[in-house]
Structure 1
């Protein structure tokens, strides 16, 4: 499974991607509006769960590493898990690649692939209040804000609302 866009290529995560995965889950700038810094063992368990072969009926995440085609450098991860015919998408990028349109480009590529190859046509995403960059990515990719759940998630001892977005095949 590989996905390509104009500037990016995405390949299924492998054991060789552990350092990137750990960096994405421990960098304070990346996780500040996502979750508290987890123990390395928790990150390792999460990583291992992403290595399990994926199919539409599995409960695991399908995880892709995002690479810049020109440099070959890994810039982040993206993927989804499917429950009740709805794919929940997620993505994390290294801070040095913020504000280059890579989040939107990689998500659009993932959605195009999921629709054409996996025939998925309904999506959701949950974003922590204040994560404006992620919300912009979702809006650019045709998602709409469905609801806000106040005080749904705690990061650093502070409660944040969850912003729940959705997209289906009726959205252009």
Structure 2
């Protein structure tokens, strides 16, 4: 079985981006991301209602890193430490050499290729450092922007699950995309 260790925390770099550990100084940006109905539109989770909620979310991210259950990075430009989004490996299944990638971006940064650039680096880390065999992304079937990004990054559609999640009184479909370590 896969052994995963996120200590020391791995900062990642791309041409334009630095992916670093999320910290308490990012609380305002985490609040902006997770309290915005538009950025949360395709994520069936409750909206964050306060800075304290954002700090709790950061503490949850830290706990998962500390226990090697998941890893999230703050997406920043190299020249500016301000968090503009988050990306990470969730629901790591070491016994299956598989993890789920997830990401969010502040709306003013959409359409600049930031998520594609970050995904490629996080996938590279997953395959080369974590030794994963496959990485999945689970999206809302209406999230066409995310679908295009995943396809651009080499992910292929594996499944469309009908009404497999229940949230706020209704059943939701999910689509699974994945990429294999060749």
Sort the Cα spacing of 1:39 and 1:6 in 2 relative to 1 into closer, same or farther, 3 A.
Answer: closer
RMSD over aligned CA atoms reads 2.3
- Is structure 2 residue 32 aligned with structure 1 residue 23? yes
Q: Which range is displaced more, 37-46 or 25-34? A: 37-46
Q: In the comparison of the two structures, how many residue pairs are matched?
A: 168
Aligned to 2:3: none
- Is structure 2 residue 129 aligned with structure 1 residue 120? no
The answer as to whether partners of 1:78 and 1:91 remain within 8 angstroms in 2 is yes
Residues 41-120 of structure 1 mapped to structure 2, 5 A cutoff: 44-52=55-63, 54=65, 58-59=68-69, 61-81=70-90, 82-83=92-93, 84=95, 85-120=97-132
| Distance in 1 of aligned mates of 2:167 and 2:37 | 12
Sort the Cα spacing of 1:142 and 1:75 in 2 relative to 1 into closer, same or farther, 3 A.
Answer: same
Of 32, 46, 57, the residue aligned with 2:41 is: 32
With the length of structure 1 as denominator, give the TM-score of the two structures.
0.85
Of 140, 147, 162, the residue aligned with 2:159 is: 147
| Distance in 1 of aligned mates of 2:145 and 2:23 | 27
Sort the Cα spacing of 1:23 and 1:39 in 2 relative to 1 into closer, same or farther, 3 A.
Answer: closer
Extract unaligned runs of 5+ from structure 1.
none
The answer as to whether partners of 2:135 and 2:180 remain within 8 angstroms in 1 is yes
| Distance in 2 of aligned mates of 1:97 and 1:77 | 12
Extract unaligned runs of 5+ from structure 2.
1-9
